Structures are given as structure tokens and as C-alpha cells.
């Protein structure tokens, strides 16, 4: 039963003050703030744009156009993710589309792609715009290559990857279709993502999107830049090769192998949770800003995909700065680095025959312990110490 006793104005005012103080203490409590943070819903487009711009460093130079990966052995490591219970949390990576393969399997809550080339960030914004517009895998490739889905033979949502690729290889296109699509993607980036593109960015977008349009599924990793002397492809795998790559058991690992994986990636992209940042792994800003954001918002790094960037960090004598950036990340005992090691030059114990690079995992806590003990005098010592190899790797034996 409620009391009929009336509260006097002084007591009522005192009650409001006490309630306000309690509310203020809760609001200023870091744990309470973290509990209210949005760790899985949609990040506002304005916030996405702010993060990309504010976390990014000045773009650096790299000697190749990394339109696509050149790492064909990626499916061999995907089974290890489940075995090691690598899922959720935060993902950090570098490079182009191979990140989507790993993100699709790890299913993180958020992902950052940190690349020294601003062109890579513009390319990821291009991918993001395509993900936003393409409801399924066939539509994704249709947008990527400016190949409209028309006619009785056009692939559907339930078409196999082989059927989709067969159509994309032969479907007609035109400069008019390319130009119209390019303008749509540009407007999507600027209007929907609230990301301002400079004149140079617009030209970069045209260059990247135009290269996909012209090369079709034959596009590959390329040394040098188009139009410059010495440009060559060097027998690198095409995008079609990468999309159809399998592990030893014949399992495909591409993010386009199933609608389920594609659907997860599309949801994460539409939630603005795959965030590209211009940054040097050994730089002072980008990775530190990512680390600060992850800590502030309660994320733990599940996997950091470095490709073979560490090889160049050793060559430039800045590997120590990279290790200190790794130290800033919020990690657990289960967090890993995923690296691709060139195993064609020297016979690595975990090499995968028929592939020029081998995926290897390493626990981040173990990496830092080894680094603190000065156990990495060079890149090869890093690549051959305390690694977790794919199941199908073979032991090397001297003949």
C-alpha cells in the first residue's frame, strides 16, 4: 500500500539531488559506460568516416599494385580457426580481398584493415560500396566487373560459384555501364558513407575500378604501376584462381564460396564495422589509434593478419616499432598473428607444396615474450619459431 504522506519541498529537493548524484556516479563509471557502448550494432556513417580520417596516417609508397592477393594457400589455415576457437572479438588485417576470407570464418564483431597505401583504403571503400548494393554473390561480382545480370543464363542467389564465375567471364559489358557504376559507387562513398573524396581519391577510385573492369577475372597482383616501364604480372594467381582455391581436402575457402559467408560480410559492412585505415605497421599513429579504440570499447583482438609485411619491417629496420605497436593492443592468451611466409626461397618446415607462401599462426603473447628475449634477430627466425602450422603442412627433409 502506498503511503498517503506528502513529502515537503525541502525533502523533495533533497531526494532529487541525491538521485542526480547517483545517476551521475553511474554515468561516470567506466564499467557502466562500457556496458552501454554499441559493440555489435550499426556504427553511424559519420562515426565511420571520422574513424577512417582521424586514425589514418599520410599514405606511404609500396612497389606494387595490390589489387588482389597472391596467396593461394589461405584455405589451408581456415580449419585452424575453429580448432583454436578463434571467433568474435576484433580482427586486424592488411591488403585487399583476402581479409574477407578470414573475416568470414572468424566472424569478428569489428574489423580494421590497416594498409600503408591510401589506394588500398580507397579500394576497400569501393568494396564497401559494392557490398552495400549487392544482395548476393552474383550481384557482388556483377558490380565488381560491371557485368549486368541479364538473360535466362544469369546466375541467381543459389547458383554455385562455378556457375557465377562462368557467367562473369563471358558476360558483355561496356564503357557506359562502367561509367554509370563508377558514378554510383562514388556517390555511395561520399553521400552514404559521409566520406569526402579528394580529386586524387576520385582518380584513384577510377583507376582501381577501371582495372577490375578491364582485366575481369584475370586480374592479379601486379608489380609496378600501369603505364610505367617494367610493369609485369610475373605469373601471379588471378582472382579466379584465388576464388577457386582449396585446401588439401578440396574445401574452398573464399568468402564467395557460400551465401552464408557473403551474407555475414555484407551485414558487417552495412553496419560500418569493416573499417579501412591508412597506416604503417611501424608508424606512430594508426595502429595506436586502433588499439585505443578497441580498448575503450571493450574489444579483444582475436587475429592480426600481417601477410608478409614483417619481412619488409625487418628490411627497413623498424620491426621493433611494430612490436611495440602490437604491445598496445588488447589481447588474450588466445589472440594470434596470422602471417604468410615465403617458402620458395628457403625450405620452411611447414611449407605447403605447390604454393609460394605458407600461412602460419603464432600466439601474440608468445610473440611478445620471444621478442622481449631478443629471439628474433631476423625475419627467418621470426618465421620459424613458435609457429602453429596448417594440418596439411609437410615436414622438410634434406635429400
Q: What is the pLDDT, as a whole number, of residue 28?
A: 45
The predicted structure's pLDDT at residue 66: 79
Percent helix, strand and coil across the chain, each to the nearest 5: 45, 15, 40
Q: What is the pLDDT averaged over residues 172-193?
A: 98
Judge contact between 209 and 215, C-beta under 8 A.
no
Domain boundaries, the chain: 60-383
Question: Residue 67: pLDDT above 60?
Answer: yes
pLDDT digits (tens, 9 = 90+) for 299-316: 999 999 999 999 999 999
- pLDDT, mean over the chain: 88
Among 331, 346, 336, residue whose Cα is nearest residue 381 = 346
Residue 375 to residues 95, 309, 369, 379, Cα–Cα distance (Å): 27, 19, 9, 11
pLDDT attached to residue 345: 66
Quick one: cell of 366?
A: 608468445
Q: Which residue has the cell 602453429?
A: 388
Question: What is residue 222's predicted lDDT score, i.e. its pLDDT?
Answer: 66
The gap from C-alpha 365 to its chain's centroid, in whole angstroms, comes to: 22
Judge contact between 240 and 68, C-beta under 8 A: no
pLDDT in tens, 94-144: 999 999 999 999 999 999 999 999 999 999 999 999 999 999 999 999 999
- Residue 271 in contact with residue 41, Cβ under 8 Å? yes
d(CA 132, CA 110): 17
Does residue 50 carry a pLDDT above 70? yes
Cell 563509471 found at: 29
What number of other Cβ atoms are within 10 A of residue 148's Cβ?
14
For the entire predicted model, the pTM comes to 0.87
Amino acid at each position: 500500500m502506498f503511503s498517503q504522506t506528502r513529502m515537503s519541498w525541502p525533502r523533495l529537493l533533497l531526494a532529487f539531488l541525491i538521485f542526480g548524484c547517483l545517476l551521475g556516479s553511474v554515468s561516470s563509471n567506466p564499467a557502466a559506460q562500457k556496458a552501454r557502448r554499441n559493440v555489435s550494432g550499426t556504427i553511424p556513417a559519420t562515426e565511420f568516416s571520422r574513424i577512417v580520417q582521424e586514425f589514418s596516417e599520410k599514405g606511404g609508397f609500396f612497389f606494387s599494385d595490390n589489387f588482389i592477393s597472391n596467396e593461394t594457400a589461405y584455405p589451408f589455415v581456415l580449419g585452424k580457426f575453429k580448432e583454436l576457437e578463434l571467433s568474435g572479438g576484433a580482427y586486424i588485417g592488411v591488403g585487399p580481398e583476402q581479409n574477407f576470407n578470414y573475416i568470414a570464418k572468424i566472424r569478428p564483431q569489428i574489423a580494421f584493415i590497416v594498409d600503408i597505401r591510401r589506394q588500398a583504403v580507397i579500394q576497400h571503400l569501393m568494396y564497401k560500396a559494392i557490398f552495400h548494393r549487392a544482395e548476393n554473390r552474383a550481384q557482388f561480382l556483377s558490380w565488381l566487373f560491371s557485368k549486368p545480370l541479364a538473360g535466362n543464363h544469369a546466375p541467381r542467389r543459389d547458383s554455385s560459384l562455378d556457375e557465377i564465375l562462368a557467367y562473369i567471364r563471358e558476360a558483355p559489358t561496356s564503357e557506359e555501364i562502367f561509367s554509370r557504376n563508377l558514378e554510383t559507387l562514388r556517390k555511395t562513398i561520399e553521400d552514404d558513407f559521409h566520406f569526402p573524396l579528394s580529386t586524387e581519391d576520385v582518380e584513384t577510385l577510377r583507376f582501381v575500378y577501371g582495372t577490375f573492369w578491364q582485366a575481369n577475372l584475370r586480374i592479379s597482383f601486379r608489380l609496378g604501376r600501369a603505364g610505367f616501364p617494367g610493369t609485369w604480372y610475373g605469373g601471379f594467381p588471378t582472382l579466379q584462381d584465388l576464388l577457386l582455391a582449396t585446401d588439401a581436402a578440396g574445401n574452398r575457402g573464399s568468402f564467395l564460396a557460400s551465401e552464408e559467408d557473403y551474407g555475414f560480410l555484407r551485414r558487417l559492412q552495412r553496419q560500418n564495422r569493416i573499417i579501412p585505415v591508412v597506416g604503417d605497421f611501424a608508424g606512430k599513429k594508426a595502429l595506436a589509434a586502433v588499439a585505443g579504440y578497441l580498448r575503450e570499447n571493450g574489444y579483444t583482438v582475436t587475429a592480426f593478419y600481417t601477410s608478409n609485411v614483417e619481412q619488409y619491417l625487418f628490411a627497413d629496420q623498424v620491426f621493433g616499432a611494430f612490436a611495440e605497436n602490437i604491445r598496445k593492443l588488447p589481447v588474450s592468451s588466445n589472440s594470434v598473428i596470422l602471417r604468410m611466409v615465403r617458402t620458395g626461397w628457403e625450405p620452411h618446415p611447414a611449407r605447403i607444396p605447390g604454393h609460394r607462401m605458407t600461412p602460419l599462426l603464432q600466439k601474440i603473447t608468445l610473440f611478445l615474450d620471444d621478442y622481449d628475449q631478443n629471439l628474433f634477430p631476423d625475419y627467418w627466425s621470426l618465421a620459424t619459431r613458435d609457429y602453429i602450422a596448417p594440418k596439411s603442412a609437410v615436414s622438410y627433409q634434406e635429400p
